Amino acid sequence: MVVLHPLSDFIDCDAISDSSCSYWYEGRCLESGLRLKLPRTSMSEAIAYRLMQELANNDCYSHEGKMYGILLVELPNGEQRILKAFSGLLNGCSVVEGWVPPIPGRDEVAFEEARTLAQLDAIKQELLTLKQLTERQQYETLLNEFEQQLQAMSDRHRYCKHQRQEKRQQICKTLSPEALTIALEQLDEESRQQGIERRQLKLQQNARLQPLQQLIAAADARISELKQQRKALSRQLQAQMQASYSLTNFSGRSQSLQELMPEGSPTGTGDCCAPKLLHYAATHNLKPLAMAEFWWGTSSANQDKIQGEFYGACIERCQPLMGFLLSGLRPNPPTPLPHFVPLRERREGGEVTLPIIYEDEWLIAVNKPAGLLSVPGRYRDRQDSVLSRFAHLLPDGMSLASVHRLDQETSGILLLARDRQTHRQLSQQFQQRQVHKVYEAILSGVVTVEQGVIDLPLWGNPENRPYQKVDWQHGKPSLTHFQVMAREEDYTRLEFTPLTGRTHQLRVHAADVRGLGIAILGDRLYGCDAVTSRLHLHARELHFEHPQLNETIHLHVKTPF
C-alpha cells in the first residue's frame, strides 16, 4: 500500500519559500524533561490546502466531519515525502489506500469492537423505543383530563359548601327544632354525597392511570438497566483498546495507551491524526519536519469545528501523548534576539515609563496600571497603551506583541513577546489553558459561600460591544474558580482563577445572578453604583512555561487596593 507521497503531488516546492511557524505541537520528554516541538509551517499548511482540494473534489469525504492531517517527513537519504491521515474511520474503514494505517492494536480488538458497537447500537435503539412509549403520552393526556375534572369538581363543591353554610345560618333562625334537625341532616347528606363523588373520581383515576404507571415504571427501570449496561460495555471496550494500542516514539520505545494514560483516556484516543502520523514515522525511520491538521466535512453542535480551519493537538486525546510521541527528536535550541539591552536601562526623562517585573531576550512582563489600554484602540484618541509606550521606547519596539490582554480598567500582569516565534508559542499556551492565572477582586456586597466554581457560557452581541452576557444557546464555555479571602463590612475580597479567558469573564461571572450575583466594586458596566476611583480587579499572578528556557516562570505583583 502506497503511503509515502512525493512533494510534487501536493505543491510546487519552488513556490514555497516562507517556512514561518504558526503553531507548535509540543510536549515534555518523559525521560529527559526537555520540551520537544514540531512546527506547523507555511509549507505544511500549503500541503494541507492541496489535500483540502482533493477532499472537495470527492463527495465521499463530505458525508462525515472529521480531522485530517499531513506530516512532512525526511527519508534517510534526505528526500522529503508526505504522509496523510484521517481520524477514526473513513466511510467505515480503518485501512484506506494512500492513507497512514491505524496504530497497531485496533486489528486485535476489531471483532470485539464491532460486536460491542452492535450491542451499543441495539441498546440505543431500545432506549429510543422506551423513551417514546405511546403509554407515556396516554398517561399525560389522561392525567391532565382527570386534573381538570377534579379542579372543576373542587370548585363546584366549594361553592356548594359555601351555600350550605349560609343555609344553615338561615334555617337556625327560622325553623322549629324538629324541622331544623331534618334540614341539617339533609345538608350533611349532601356533603357526604359530594365526598363520595370525589372519592369515586379518584378511584376511577387510579384504575385508569395505574396500569399505565406500571408500564412506564417498568420502562424506566429498563432504561436505567440499559444505561448501566451501556456504561459497562463502553468501559470494557475502552480498557481493551487502551491495553492493546501500542505507540512507538523516535527513541524506539513502545508503550500502550493504558501505560501512558493509567487514569483512563477519552474514547477515540489513539485514533486521531497526529498519533497515527507520528507513530508511522517513528516505526519507519522517517524524520518529521512539520505537521498540519484541519477539519473537513459537516460538524455537529458539540464539535463546533469549521471546515477548512487548522486545529492544534486536542487537549483531551492528543496533547497528553505529545511528550512521549516526540521523544527521540532533537529539541529545538532557543533563538535569542541579537543585541539585547534590558528595558530597565532604556530610560526616557530619567525613568522607565511602566513598572517592569520581568524581562529577557524574548519576553517583557509589565504591571499595567488601571486606566491604560493593553494595545492601541481603533480611534486616534485611544492610541496610548502599554504596547505603544514600549514601541516608542525601543528601537525594536515594533516587533513587540501582546500575548494576552487586560481590560482597560483592570490592573496587573501583562505579558509581551519580543519576537513572532515566542508570541506564537505563548499564545498556544493560553489557548490550551496551560497558563495559570490568579486575579484578586473586591465585590460590592457580601458573598455567603467560601469557594466554588462558576460555569456560565458567555456571548457578546456585536452591536453592543464590549458588553457580555450569559447565553446558553450562543455562548462560549466559561469556567471560573473563586475563593473568599476576607469580608470587610459590606464588601468581599475574592481570589478568582479563570480556567478560560473570555472577554469580561470575571466581571460577568461576579455580577450575574446565576454566578455570584454581586458586581465587582467600581464595575459600572455590570451594575455597580458605588462611587469609587477604579475597577477593583487586579491580575495578581501568572505562571507559564518559558518557550525558550524550558522552565516555569512564576510572576506575582502586589494588589494595589
Residues identified as active-site: 407
Q: Please list, in sequence order, all residues whose beta carbon lies within 8 angstroms of the beta carbon of residue 364, skipping any fewer than 6 positions away.
A: 343, 356, 358, 390, 400, 415, 416, 418
Is residue 162 classed exposed, middle or buried when 0-12, 13-18 and 19+ CB atoms within 10 A define those classes? exposed
Query: End-to-end alpha-carbon separation of the chain, Å?
Result: 67
Q: Please list, in sequence order, all residues whose beta carbon lies within 8 angstroms of the beta carbon of residue 27, skipping any fewer than 6 positions away.
A: 35, 36, 319, 321, 322, 323, 324, 325, 326
> CA angle at residue 154 from 152 to 155, to 5 degrees?
65
Nearest to 27 by CA among 245, 326, 385, 437: 326
Does the bond joining 104 to the residue before it have cis omega, within 30 degrees of 0?
no
Residue type, 226: L
In tens digits, the chain (561 residues) has pLDDT values of 678 999 888 887 555 544 667 788 888 777 777 778 899 888 899 999 999 998 888 876 666 788 999 999 999 998 999 999 999 888 878 888 999 998 876 666 667 777 888 888 899 999 999 998 999 999 999 999 999 999 999 999 999 999 999 999 899 888 888 889 999 999 999 999 999 999 999 999 999 999 999 999 999 999 999 999 998 888 787 777 667 778 899 998 988 877 887 766 666 677 889 999 999 999 999 999 999 999 998 776 556 778 888 888 887 778 888 989 999 887 655 444 444 555 554 444 434 468 889 988 889 999 999 999 988 876 666 778 888 787 766 654 446 788 999 999 999 999 999 888 888 889 888 888 889 999 999 999 999 999 999 999 999 877 777 899 999 988 899 999 999 999 988 899 999 999 988 999 999 999 999 999 999 999 999 999 888 989 999 999 999 999 888 888 999 999 999
Q: What is the DSSP letter of 76?
A: T
Question: What is the rounded CA–CA span in Å between residue 84 and residue 64?
Answer: 18
* Cβ pair 168, 181 in contact under 8 A: no
**Cell 515566542 found at:** 422
pLDDT of res. 347: 45
* Cβ pair 467, 525 in contact under 8 A: yes
Question: What is the rounded CA–CA span in Å between residue 107 and residue 117?
Answer: 15
**Which residues, listed in sequence order, are joined to residue 247 by a DSSP beta bridge?**
255
pTM of the model as a whole:
0.47
- CA dist 7 → 11, 12, 48, 69, 296 (Å): 6, 8, 12, 15, 22
- Alpha-carbon torsion 504, 507, 509, 511, what sign? negative
pLDDT of res. 376: 82
Question: What is the rounded CA–CA span in Å between residue 42 and residue 21?
Answer: 7
Exposed e or buried b for every residue in 234-259, given b needs 16+ CB within 10 A?
eeebbebbbebbbbbbbbeeebbbbe
pLDDT of res. 1: 63
Q: Write out the three cell numbers for 418.
A: 519580543
pLDDT of res. 36: 86
